[in-house]
Amino acid sequence: MPGLFRCYSDQTCKKVQLGGIPFVNFGSCPAGNVTFDAVNCECRPDVYTTCGACAQAAHASCVWLEKEYQGQWSFVLNAGGQSIAKELEPTVFEKGRCWSGNGFFGPLGTVTNTSFRTSALSASAQYTITPTNGWYWGQCVVPKAYMAGFTLLLTMGLAVCAVCLCRRLFQRRRTRRDA
């Protein structure tokens, strides 16, 4: 059965081969270090373990989730005409975490899904992240999208200043030529 999940417990984001009954375990990968896509592997939650390490320009596609965010797994298994659905209790994480996202929309992939089908069964899984105490992007002082808005306004202001300066210089040259 092909690997459906990615584990980022070490320095590489690798596919996880499921062993035995699906969703019972993720091999040697702790369940908290599993993602469905390679996007979250870029944010390396066990490498970037502080806001200062995560929320910086070098990781512009990552945001820092403040502690006490929630994560929840839910599964549906279909076998032999029977369907079993299971939703695990939400887990409240006592430490913050680096997660895929951007400054305008915050954490991306807060709900991720995967599924697979074999001749005998089909299964699907969903992992939901719910930020409760906010998130940071690009720095650790200004929360949520305020930093992205500030960056956008600053960039637009600098662009307007540059246009005005170029226009003034162009008018000076024209005045000198005409005189």
Higher pLDDT, 23 or 130: 130
Instruction: Say whether both 49 and 107 belong to one domain.
Output: yes
d(CA 108, CA 77): 26
Is the domain of 84 the same as that of 133?
yes
Residue 25 pLDDT > 70: no
Do residue 80 and residue 33 come from a single domain? yes
Q: Do residues 79 and 120 touch, judged by C-beta distance below 8 A?
A: yes
Q: Are residues 123 and 149 in the same domain?
A: no
Instruction: Please give the torsion angle defined by the CA atoms of residues 143, 147, 148 and 149, in that order, rounded to the nearest 10 degrees.
Output: 110
Both 36 and 110 in a single domain? yes
78 and 105 part of one domain: yes
83/13 Cα distance (integer angstroms)? 32
Q: Answer yes or no: do 164 and 131 share one domain.
A: no
Gap between the Cα atoms of 151 and 153, Å rounded: 6
The CA distance from 38 to 86, in Å, is: 25
Q: How many domains does the chain have?
A: 2
- 99 and 175 co-located in one domain: no
Mean pLDDT of 21-35: 63
Statement to judge: residues 12 and 57 lie in one domain? yes
For residues 47 and 128, state if they share a domain. yes
* Banded model confidence at residue 117, pLDDT cuts 50, 70, 90: confident
pLDDT at 1: 38
Range of the domain at 174: 145-179
Q: What is the average pLDDT across 157-169? A: 86
Is the same domain home to 47 and 80?
yes
**3-class DSSP assignment, residue 119:** coil
Q: Is 41 helix (H, G, I), strand (E, B) or coil?
A: helix
Find which of 19-28, 38-47, 123-132 is predicted with most confidence, using mean pLDDT.
123-132
Residues 155 and 139 both lie in one domain: no
CA 151 to chain centre: 20
